[in-house]
Structure 1
Amino acid sequence: MTAPAVPPSLSLPVIEAAFPRQLHPYWPQLQEKTRAWLLEMRLMPADKVAEYADGLCYTDLMAGFYLGAPDEVMQAIADYSAWFFVWDDRHDRDVVHGRTSSWRRLRFRLHAALDSPAEHLRHPDPLVAGLADSVRRLHSFLPGTWNARFTRHFHAVIDAYDREFHNRIEGRIPGVEEYLALRRLTFAHWIWTDLLEPSAGRELPDPVRKHPAFRRAALLSQEFAAWYNDLCSLPKEIAGDEVHNLGISLITHEGLTLEEAVEEVRRRVDGCISDFLVIEKDVLRLADRLADGTVRGNQLGAAVRSCLGNMRNWFSSVYWFHHESGRYMVDSWDDRSTPPYVNNEAAGEK
Structure 2
Amino acid sequence: MPFRSAGCNPGMAETREAAWKWAETNGLALSPVSRKKMLRTRPELWTSLIFPSASQQHLDLFCQWLFWAFLVDDEFDDGPAGRDPRMCEAAIARLVDVLDGAEPRGPMERALEGLRDRTCRERSAVWNRQFRRDTASWLWTYYAEAVERAAGQVPSRADFTKHRRDSVAMQPFLDLHEIAAGIDLPESARSLPAYIALRTAVTDHSGLCNDICSFEKEAVLGYEHNAVRLIQRDRGYSLQEAVDEAGIQLARITERIQRAEKDLVEEIAAAGITGPVREALERCVRDYRGLVRGDFDYHARAERYTRPDLTEIDVRDTLSQYFAA
Name the counterpart of 1:30: 15
Name the counterpart of 1:129: 110
Query: How far does the alpha carbon of each residue in 1:90-141 deviate from its partner, in whole angstroms, 9 at most, with x for none?
Result: 1123348855554333122112111115x32xx22x2211222111211023
Match for 1:163 among 144, 149, 152? 144
Q: Which moved more, 1:142-151 or 1:257-266?
A: 257-266
Taking the aligned partners of 1:313 and 1:237, their CA distance within structure 2 comes to: 28
Query: TM-score normalized by structure 2?
Result: 0.83
SS in structure 2 of the partner of residue 80 of structure 1: helix
Taking the aligned partners of 1:99 and 1:276, their CA distance within structure 2 comes to: 37
Change (3 A) 1:70 1:210: farther
Displacement of 1:322 in angstroms is 1.4
Match for 1:311 among 259, 280, 288? 288
Q: Which moved more, 1:79-88 or 1:151-160?
A: 151-160
Residue pairs, 1:57-76, within 5 angstroms: 57-76=42-61
Match for 1:78 among 56, 63, 67? 63
Q: Does residue 1:150 correspond to 2:131, yes or no?
A: yes
Equivalent position amino acid for 1:187 in 2: V
Displacement of 1:213 in angstroms is 2.2
Query: TM-score normalized by structure 1?
Result: 0.78
Equivalent position amino acid for 1:157 in 2: W
Taking the aligned partners of 1:28 and 1:182, their CA distance within structure 2 comes to: 34
Query: How far does the alpha carbon of each residue in 1:238-258 deviate from its partner, in whole angstroms, 9 at most, with x for none?
Result: 343221111222233344443
Match for 1:183 among 164, 170, 187? 164
Displacement of 1:21 in angstroms is 3.6
Change (3 A) 1:34 1:286: farther
Equivalent position amino acid for 2:195 in 1: F
Equivalent position amino acid for 1:306 in 2: R
Q: Does residue 1:327 correspond to 2:312, yes or no?
A: no
- Structure 2: which 5+ residue stretches go unaligned? 311-325
Match for 1:92 among 77, 90, 94? 77
Q: Does residue 1:56 correspond to 2:41, yes or no?
A: yes
Displacement of 1:76 in angstroms is 1.9
Query: How far does the alpha carbon of each residue in 1:220-252 deviate from its partner, in whole angstroms, 9 at most, with x for none?
Result: 111111101111223343343221111222233
Change (3 A) 1:148 1:239: same
- Structure 1: which 5+ residue stretches go unaligned? 1-13, 334-350
SS in structure 2 of the partner of residue 195 of structure 1: helix
Displacement of 1:184 in angstroms is 1.0
Taking the aligned partners of 1:43 and 1:286, their CA distance within structure 2 comes to: 46
Change (3 A) 1:192 1:253: same
Match for 2:24 among 39, 45, 70? 39
Change (3 A) 1:78 1:284: farther
Paired residues in the alignment total 310
Name the counterpart of 1:216: 197
Question: Is the CA contact 1:57–1:321 (under 8 Å) kept in the aligned structure 2?
Answer: no
Taking the aligned partners of 1:235 and 1:229, their CA distance within structure 2 comes to: 11
Q: What percentage of aligned pairs have identical amino acids?
A: 20
Taking the aligned partners of 1:269 and 1:302, their CA distance within structure 2 comes to: 29
Name the counterpart of 1:238: 219
Taking the aligned partners of 1:72 and 1:191, their CA distance within structure 2 comes to: 18
SS in structure 2 of the partner of residue 326 of structure 1: coil
Query: How far does the alpha carbon of each residue in 1:144-196 deviate from its partner, in whole angstroms, 9 at most, with x for none?
Result: 22112211222222221101122234442211111111111111243222222
Taking the aligned partners of 1:316 and 1:51, their CA distance within structure 2 comes to: 26
Name the counterpart of 1:4: none
Equivalent position amino acid for 1:280 in 2: E
Equivalent position amino acid for 2:283 in 1: S
Change (3 A) 1:46 1:92: closer
Name the counterpart of 1:279: 260
Question: Is the CA contact 1:287–1:300 (under 8 Å) kept in the aligned structure 2?
Answer: no
Question: Is the CA contact 1:58–1:82 (under 8 Å) kept in the aligned structure 2?
Answer: yes
Taking the aligned partners of 2:239 and 2:32, their CA distance within structure 1 comes to: 39
SS in structure 2 of the partner of residue 152 of structure 1: helix
Equivalent position amino acid for 1:235 in 2: E
Equivalent position amino acid for 1:252 in 2: R
Change (3 A) 1:49 1:90: closer
Taking the aligned partners of 2:24 and 2:112, their CA distance within structure 1 comes to: 14
Displacement of 1:286 in angstroms is 6.0
SS in structure 1 of the partner of residue 304 of structure 2: helix
Name the counterpart of 2:276: 299
Change (3 A) 1:42 1:185: same
SS in structure 1 of the partner of residue 50 of structure 2: coil
Name the counterpart of 1:105: 90
